[in-house]
Structure 1
Amino acid sequence: MPTTHSRARVATLCAAALTFSGLAVTGILAAQPAAAADPAGYQNVRINEVTSSDNDTVELYNTGSTAVSISGWKMSDDSFSAQSFSPSSSTIQAGGFVTFNSPKGLGDSDKLVIYTSGGTVVDRVEWATDKAKPAMARCGGDGTGAWVTATSAATFGSANAAGCPSSLPAASRVRINEVTSNGSDTVELYNGGTSSVSVSSWKYVDGDTGHSAAKISSSSPSATSIPAGGYVTFDSTIGLGDNDSAFLIDGSGNTVDSVTWATDAAKPSDERCADGSGWFQTATTATLGSANSCAGGGGTTGGTTTGGTTTGGTTTGGTGGTGDQPGQLLGGGGSLTSGCTPEAPSGSHSTPSGTLAWPGGADVTIADNVCAFTTSTGPEGRDVSGLVFDPSNPSVLWAVKNKNWLFKLVKSNGNWIPDSSWAAKGKQIRFSGGSGEPDSEGVTIGADGHLYVTSERDNTNNTAPKDTILEFDPAATGSTLSPLHQWDMTSQFPQLDTGDKDDANLGFEGVGYVPDSWLTAGGWVDPLTGAAYDPANYPLHGSGLFFAGLEWDGTLHVYGLNSNGTFTTFGAISTGKTSVMDVTFDAVTQRIVATCDNTCGETHTFMKVDASGAIVPDVTYTNPAVMPADNLEGFALAPASTCVNGSREAVWSDDGIYGFGSKTSSDGHALYSGTFPC
């Protein structure tokens, strides 16, 4: 069962992932310990955008949960001493922006340092020639994202998304992941991207203004590159102390990442939880060169929030919301009576080695109204499983509930809600003949626009498996739908037919429609012929195959579903996972995605056709760090047509509507929404 104290509010969690506090410029103004004059929450204020043209404008953003006074703050660059500036407001509201013009200008290749009125460094950014034209901006999250050059006009005073490039450089995935100041003074870097990044020319420096930046390679000659999902460590030759910082600078002189820690916070180490994306906390054991243990406690970089008021580096719980506000950030502490009964998650296991951090945004929101999926066969509102975006209308999301219900969802006030013009409470589905209750687990959409649903068993006889794929016409009228076709594969899985309801419940959990065009373009070898797949050999199957995920062992079973009610079996494909809960074909990445819940550490394996013509795992990602370790059985990625500023929506469904646990702000909710790169 997940615990709320380790699940910080996402916006602040994200802020800790890219912190640029505590560095002063040599010969300009010495960094000093935080003084009483420093306002509460100052460490949450980030430089968010800067331009070296158009009046040399600077934008600050407050990633914290409370307003911060910036009265009397100053700034400097690499040629002039700290100067007062005139901000658009003397206070930055939580999640708000403040802008000002540099009093003495900024150059094409320059740096910017922000200080409190007491002289404490708040944040710092450095850029190479012309990198701040039209602007240097954080992309991937205001106050938290990677520093890149904007591709369109500057967006001062508002979110940076409109000016961000469609894709971020590989170097933006490198993060300071762990640091220790206990004598060895070691820094660990982590590459959360999908390609190796060279760091042979990169430098680092601490918060001592008397120190010059040192090359990573001079500290550790073997630390020349970081493989995808890998680690590099090096011992600081300039030392690291209490109340110190570590700053990472690429070979061109651009700021990459940083961390600032308080007294003793880096003893034995200060580590990100989770790797490469989470906020920093003091560890109980250093894990340099491997995955962080995350067994410590307490935030040390900036403020973290779990529904209450930030106080220094940690936060105590606040009051949970009502559950019906649009776009609630995950987290929250206080009490909530949801009105429906959650089911605690089961089957939790650790994340497999080699898994990469979530490549999309760290922000995740609750995306449905509380108890939205209560039905006559499931008044507790549980068991939302498969999800799929409608490719013909990406503003529609289809969902199935295990107890034989199908939902057409549309957006309203930021949440996915049942489309009242189709069925305000969903439509009940049946097996052929109009009887039985399909244990509906997965859903996909074929080229014909019909919905194809997998069922593991008949809920009226739940000790016997009934592994079937059922075809429904979403345009059919009535409150109950019968299948146009039903394909029964139960006999292929005798291991599930033991008379035990738990074994019967380990069958077809998800399904994805994969177009023939992708299979032929990739050179997939037909296991039935041993030659390149030729769709013409199967004239009744339509224009694609169906990949059904077996929860029992994590395999994908490939079928051609024929118009005469028969089917062709193309065999099984290993996903490398112990289980599969949902399957989707993502046309944007051109990959089949096999999703597993907490049984496999909440992971998504993207599969490709390799050079030999086999379908094999390509890369596996975890969920965003803030998400609960629940039975998240459904996963869908929005089509390319929905992409905005390089991102599109990702949606998860919680089979038990458990959220972070009973009586918390996510109790009673089944859908979560985040972003994934385009």
Structure 2
Amino acid sequence: MCAAALTFSGLVVTGLVAAQPAAAADPAGYQNVRINEVTSSNNDTVELYNTGSTAVSISGWKMSDDGFSPQSFSPSSTTIAAGGFVTFNSPKGLGDSDKLVIYTADGTVVDRVEWATNGAKPAMARCGGDGTGAWVTAATATTFGAANAPGCPSSIPAASRVRINEVASNGSDTVELYNGGTTAVGIGSWKYVDGDTTHTPVSISSSSPSATSIPAGGYVTFNSTLGLGDNDSVFLLDGNGSTVDSVTWATDGAKPSDERCANGTGRFQTAVTATLGSANSCSGSGGGGGGGQTGQLLGGGGALTSGCTPEAPSGTGSTPSGTLAWPGGPDVTIADNVCAFTTSTGPEGRDVSGLAFDPANPTVLWAAKNKNWLYKLVKSNGKWVPDATWSATGKQIRFAGGTGEPDSEGLTVGANGHVYVTSERDNTHNTVPKDTIMEFDPAATGSTLTPVHQWDMTAQFPQLDTGSKDDANLGFEGVGYVPDSWLTANGWADPLTGSAYNPANYPLHGSGLFFAGLEWDGSLHVYGLNSDGTFTTFGTIATGKVSVMDVMFDAGTSRIVATCDNTCGETHTFLKVDAAGAVVPDVTYTNPAVMPTDNLEGFAIAPTSTCVNGFREAVFSDDGIQGFGNGSSSYGHAVYSGTFPC
């Protein structure tokens, strides 16, 4: 995982080695391979990443720097899996100020980059998406063979939000740039160059004199005076010669055009119709140029049953500045049956909120339904369905004493295997907050569960007790169990003592603490839940987001994850313990681009023990089963399944 402290490096693309003409033997998908990380210290290691959806053979590929002609190298594998990484050590070494060019076996340029003095020490890595993001210099760590994103800074300079968005090599040889940032970017001194390494970079202004700046969310187009052909590339350089973005395509890949899907962020694909100067249509096929991801929403179907009423999303807000693209695979599968969660207290078949994998048995996924139901889900034919041996229709939960209807929102699994569920209020008195954490023993018999223990924190949140059901509904939306071992190993400072956290000071709390997410303001509240029914409050943590809908601890990334739905642009903030011992935001990701923008309130990542080919499952739940709306394949579904790096 990259270190948090990063500085931007200077990258210059000049004087490159001449490329050979493209040959038919270039492997399928070669244009999707990108240089992803480089170090010019220790073993002079290079990492390549495959942004495409199919594996790519790199057998016989070569590399050069600024001091030697193309040389063979020995990769960790001669094939790069889709979304996978391959590393190798430079056969001739890499210097303090150097460059790197990657070629196919037949001499076609695949990708290239150059760095200034010490720019690749300890490493230089792409930030903002593996294979696509801006280059940064890591301060203390490298991530060879794994995703770069966790160590990226929270804010990327405005110029790095400019992306090559569409390219046409059909005679006009037009390039479209898109500014995905929130401020205009001056490009009067910027240049471009194609895949012929004998060519000198050309200024954009000489090709399009009016192209002096790109407004926020705007486009600029220019015609390449270098010409663009089959098996070619475009490299975009800023006024200092630093690499901003690049795209490479195979034969006919840019005819009529090669376009990013999604617009400004996704992987390139061949378009059906060119849309130069406006948003991309994204109606073409995959397999175009490298430099991003596009995905498919798979599955669905089935008619809505009587009484199943999807709810349109509400409260959509903007995505926070500095948010990074989803680091997992681009494809997402609809992973439940249509209208699967209808119950006697919620016949509309919606309101599935919290999700949590059982760490001891990751074939089990627990789900909380707002109207006081708990589900034990297992996989069947690729879908998450209720475990019939536990309950085919879920189990109803009550507050202590067997009363009320908890507005159950979040859940987590403790070290004892019990399921801990949060509630914002009692649905039978929905204008009054009741912010509680309830402990349930899933081995208990019967169709209704009552808590083994219950902890009531309502008095800590007087701002929710206004007599309004809307305010009462902004309480504990999620909860995550965080092991003491992680807190102590990472040097968490106990807010109550001001010194390193010592679990022995709290003998009744078990072996971990519980981080509850407050929807009201996006804060996390840390508790020790004692076996005598009391609790210890360890204070509040700011997530940097206006709201929180789910909370989890992920041992794979060694991070606490706070999820926000469309209120915050469908994002997941990973939090770490910093050098001062405080839990702070580290990096924020969006959902996969193909996901609907709905009230997606549940999020869970499977343990790393489930990893296959470098990925594990990530699951999302839709509180309103709206999908993309009436008539869409996702309408009436609550659970979605994607992938996240191991």
TM-score, normalised on structure 1?
Answer: 0.64
SS at match of 1:421: coil
Given the alignment of the two structures, is residue 109 of structure 1 paired with residue 92 of structure 2, yes or no? no
For 1:367 and 1:596, the matched residues in 2 are separated by: 21
How much does 1:439 deviate? 0.4
Q: Is the 8 A contact 1:274 1:625 kept in 2?
A: no
Aligned position for 1:161: none
Q: Which string of whole-angstrom CA distances, capped at 9 and with x for unpartnered residues, describes residues 326-360 of structure 1?
A: xx951689995465221111111111110111111
Match in the other structure for 1:299: 282
Partner of residue 455 from structure 2, selected from 487, 504, 512: 487
Instruction: Answer yes or no: is 1:139 the counterpart of 2:139.
Output: no
Looking at structure 1, the residues matched to 56 and 500 of structure 2 have their Cα atoms a distance apart, in angstroms, of 60
TM superposition shift of 1:379: 1.3
Partner of 1:227: none
Give how far 1:530 is off: 1.6
- Structure 2 counterparts to residues 180-219 of structure 1, below 5 A: 206=194, 212=198
Contact 2:233 2:246 in 1 (8 A): no
Contact 2:543–2:562, Cα closer than 8 Å, also in 1: yes
| Counterpart selection for 2:348 from 380, 403, 411 | 380
| Distance apart, 1:234 and its partner CA | 13
Structure-2 separation of matches of 1:460 and 1:234: 57
Q: Please give the alpha-carbon distance, in whole angstroms, between the structure 2 residues aligned to 1:482 and 1:336.
A: 35
* Equivalent-residue separation in structure 1 for 2:511 and 2:406 (angstroms): 26
Q: How does 1:396-411 map to 2 (within 5 A)?
A: 396-411=364-379
Equivalent position to 2:508, from 540, 552, 576: 540
The amino acid that maps onto 1:557 is H
Contact 2:147 2:645 in 1 (8 A): no
Q: Distance in 2 between matches of 1:559 and 1:169?
A: 32
**Closer, same or farther in 2 for the Cα pair 1:129/1:380, shift >3 Å?**
same
Deviation at 1:588, TM superposition (A): 1.1
TM-superposed CA distance for 1:258, in Å, is: 2.3
User: Is the aligned partner of 1:129 residue 2:72?
Assistant: yes
Q: Show the counterpart of 2:103.
A: none
Deviation at 1:46, TM superposition (A): 3.7
User: 1:84-132: per-residue Cα shift (whole Å, max 9, x none)?
Assistant: xxxxxxxxxxx99999xx9xxx856399xxxxxxxxxxxxxxx961457
- Find the residue that maps to 2:362 and give its secondary structure: coil
- Tell me the residue number matched to 2:233: 246
Offset of residue 519 of structure 1: 1.3
Verify the 8 A CA contact 2:56 2:81 in the aligned structure 1: no
| Aligned 1:164-563 pairs, distance under 5 A | 167=146, 177-179=163-165, 206=194, 212=198, 239=225, 246-247=233-234, 257-258=247-248, 260-262=253-255, 271-273=260-262, 275-279=264-268, 296-299=279-282, 302-303=284-285, 329-330=296-297, 337=304, 340-563=308-531
- Given that 2:296 and 2:330 are in contact with CA atoms closer than 8 Å, whether structure 1 keeps it comes out as no
Cα separation, partners in 2 of 1:406 and 1:285, compared to 1, 3 Å: same
The range that moved more, 662-671 or 333-342, is 333-342
Give, in angstroms, the shift of residue 423 of structure 1.
0.4
Q: 5+ residue gaps in structure 1?
A: 1-24, 32-43, 51-60, 64-94, 112-126, 150-164, 192-202, 220-230, 287-294, 311-327
> Helix, strand or coil: the match of 1:423?
coil
Distance 1:183 1:166 in 2: 36
Matched, 1:629 2:615: no
Equivalent residues of 2:75, 2:86 under 8 A apart: no
**Cα deviations across residues 284-333 of structure 1 (Å, max 9, x unaligned)?**
897xxxxxxxx724138x5269xxxx9xxxxxxxxxxxxxxxxx951689
Q: Deviations over 1:426-451 (max 9, x none)?
A: 00000011111100000001111111
Question: Structure 1: how far apart are the matches of 2:71 and 2:312?
Answer: 51
**Is 2:407–2:426's contact at 8 Å kept on the other side of the alignment?**
yes
Deviations 1:609-649 (A, max 9, x none): 11111110011111111111111100001111111221111
Separation in 1, partners of 2:643, 2:598 = 19
* Alignment partner, residue 619 of structure 1: 587
Give, in whole Å, the separation in 1 of the partners of 2:226 and 2:572: 38
Amino acid at match of 1:303: S
RMSD: 4.6
8 Å CA contact retained: 2:298, 2:331: no
Task: Pick closer, same or farther for the CA change 1:29–1:440 going to 2, 3 Å.
Answer: closer
Residue identity opposite 1:246 in structure 2: S
Distance in 2, Cα, partners of 1:175 & 1:47: 25
1:474-503 superposed Cα distances (whole Å, 9 cap, x missing partner): 000000000011111111111111111111
Distance 1:473 1:26, change over 3 A: closer
Decide whether the 8 Å contact of 1:388 with 1:443 is kept in 2: yes
- Tell me: CA distance 1:532–1:631, structure 2 relative to 1, closer, same or farther (3 Å): same
Percent identity among equivalent residues?
Answer: 63
SS of corresponding position for 2:561? strand
* Structure-2 change in CA distance of 1:262 and 1:567 (3 Å): same
Q: Matched residue of 1:420: which SS?
A: coil
Q: 1:475 to 1:591 in 2, by over 3 A?
A: same
Q: For structure 2, list consecutive stretches of 5 or more residues without a partner in the other structure.
A: 1-17, 34-49, 65-69, 89-143, 153-159, 182-190, 206-216, 238-244, 289-294
The answer (yes or no) to whether the contact 1:335–1:663 under 8 Å persists in 2 is: no
Tell me which moved more, 556-565 or 640-649: 640-649
